[in-house]
Amino acid sequence: MSDHHPPLRSYGRLKTRTIKPRQAALVESLLPGLRPPAGPFDPRALMPEAAEIWLEIGFGGGEHMAAQAGLHPDALIIGAEPFQNGVASALRHIDEAQLTNVRVLDGDARELMANLPDASLARIYVLFPDPWPKARHNKRRLVNAELLVELARVLKPGGGLRFATDWADYADWTLERVLRDPAFSWPATRACDWRVPPADHITTRYEEKRLGDCAPVFLDFVRQ
């Protein structure tokens, strides 16, 4: 197999508005020291004292990632987000809370995961990804069989994958695909297991806008 792959395609806008001066300054000063290495790397080397390594795919404005990092200083949280305004917002949260256990890739999480060792992550978050609700755009959705293979590879046995959406069709879409993959199980037994936010969930301003067509759905899967 060739080592040369075509660049991954990210759908949607990568920037919408001018980044505020303070955040732009953080992109210049703070971001370079937070970026993971460009090639294959062991995430434990980024924070040797970390008890666990977590990944947030598409962290939006970084509220959830920064809050979880503040609550769990013994975990290293790596976030990936191609949207430049979101990265700038996340850097502000990291700077204000003086967090030292966060690393940020201003790019595609799939490229990051390709550089991670097998079974290196204890937890992965995919929270409110772009739903691409029109049927002809469904193929653009982040969750697909190829992504699930990679998530299963980098997650430790017993590791957690949390998916959240406020689009009913995307919840069904994801549940169908994850349950088709023998690497994952879904331990939910009653409706409140997916209708009630998990006890450790951090609600963000984006989530509160309720831009979807249903109340938020939380799907917590376990790596077999």
CA dist 156 and 184 (Å) reads: 11
* 130 is an active site residue: yes
Res 3 pLDDT > 70: no
CATH 3.20.10.10 fits 21-223, yes or no: no
Looking up tokens 């939006």, which residue turns up?
60
pLDDT band for position 141 (50/70/90)?
very high
Q: What percent of the chain has pLDDT over 70?
A: 93
Q: What is the pLDDT of residues 54-101, one digit of tens each?
A: 999 999 999 999 999 999 999 999 999 999 999 999 999 999 999 999
Asked if residue 85 lies in contact with residue 136, where contact means CB atoms within 8 angstroms, the answer is: no
CA dist 75 and 71 (Å) reads: 9
The full set of domain ranges for the chain reads 21-223
pLDDT band for position 42 (50/70/90)?
very high
Catalytic residue among 106, 108, 130, 166: 130
Q: What is the pLDDT of residues 156-173, one digit of tens each?
A: 999 999 999 999 999 999
